Amino acid sequence: DAKTTQPNSMESNEEEPVHLPCNHSTISGTDYIHWYRQLPSQGPEYVIHGLTSNVNNRMASLAIAEDRKSSTLILHRATLRDAAVYYCILTQYNFNKFYFGSGTKLNVKP
């Protein structure tokens, strides 16, 4: 499975945008880019996913580089509830399994 690289931790102020980067230089043409997050003491939660084009949903936006070797998860206005570990994961088209890395621990300051 293709590997992703994320910063160990990031910090943001409440109500400000957050850009969480992910590098995936060995991505293959059939790999989807998924983002999940894990709030303290909870199971992972789906955030967003995409293949080539940028994606928006009610939780976040996903910006995918033209060469697909990197992507950025954008939280438009961070809240305290967004403090979590964010995982960038590559999966094959059938979404058969997810390999979680260490993720980025996001701390949101009031």
Partner 1 sequence: EPEVTQTPSHQVTQMGQEVILRCVPISNHLYFYWYRQILGQKVEFLVSFYNNEISEKSEIFDDQFSVERPDGSNFTLKIRSTKLEDSAMYFCASSGSHTEAFFGQGTRLTVV
Residues making contact with partner 1 (CB under 8 A): 34, 38, 42-46, 49, 87, 93-102
Contact assessment for residue 49 and residue 55, using Cβ atoms and an 8 Å cutoff: yes
Listed residue (48, 110, 43) closest to 83, CA to CA:
110
Angle, CA of 77, 79 and 85, to the nearest 5° = 105
**Closest to partner 1 by CB, 19 or 46:** 46
**Closest to partner 1 by CB, 73 or 87:** 87
Measure the CA–CA gap between 89 and 28, rounded to whole angstroms.
13
**Closest to partner 1 by CB, 16 or 46:** 46
Contact assessment for residue 110 and residue 14, using Cβ atoms and an 8 Å cutoff: yes
Shortest distance (Å) from residue 49 CB to partner 1: 6
Shortest distance (Å) from residue 51 CB to partner 1: 11
Shortest distance (Å) from residue 45 CB to partner 1: 7
